[in-house]
Amino acid sequence: MIWDWVRENDGLLWWLGGISLATFVGSLIVIPVLVVKMAPDYFMPGRRSAMAELHPVVRLFGLLGKNLLGGLLFLAGVAMLFIPGQGLLTMLLGLALLDFPGKRTCELWLVRKPKIHRAMNWIRRRYGHPPLQVP
């Protein structure tokens, strides 16, 4: 029964395997870059956005690009919960890029998980950056 379905859908399985491999390799490249680029005080209260001082048109395109990348990373993180990859860490970085109500609460809930906080600081330490401060 299952083997019949596998034989009938072998093209789909190859595509899913390719997408799985691409998200895994992509996460290994993108995640460290984004973690290292975060300011050490990113999670601290009262921190202002670097985009607040930009020209309104530049800010609009920056926000659109940032939210698009954040959405893609968040969806990839959700997928990585079921396929190989760094799912929770990818979801956290996607959330960090998105702008939505309640974002701060979600970010802090995730980054306060000891394994995630340790993983992020390990990446930052590996590239010579100070650890992230978490309230």
Assigned token pair, 89:
């860490």
Q: Does residue 121 belong to any structural domain of this protein? A: yes
Residue 121 has pLDDT above 90, yes or no: yes
Q: Does residue 19 belong to any structural domain of this protein? A: yes
| Distance (Å, whole) CA 69 – CA 75 | 10
- Alpha helices in 38-102, H assignment, sequence order: 56-79, 87-97
Q: Does residue 135 belong to any structural domain of this protein? A: no
Q: Does residue 133 belong to any structural domain of this protein? A: no
pTM score over 0.85: no
Tens digits of residue pLDDT in 56-82: 888 889 889 989 988 988 888 888 777
Q: Is 76:19 a contact under the CB 8 Å cutoff?
A: no
Q: Does residue 131 belong to any structural domain of this protein? A: no
Q: Does residue 107 belong to any structural domain of this protein? A: yes
Give the chain's domain count: 1
Domain residues for the domain of 48 are 2-126
**Residue 85 has what pLDDT?**
66
Element holding 31 (H helix, E strand) = helix 10-37
Tens digits of residue pLDDT in 82-97: 776 677 778 877 887 8
Dihedral sign, Cα of residue 53, residue 47, residue 37, residue 105: negative
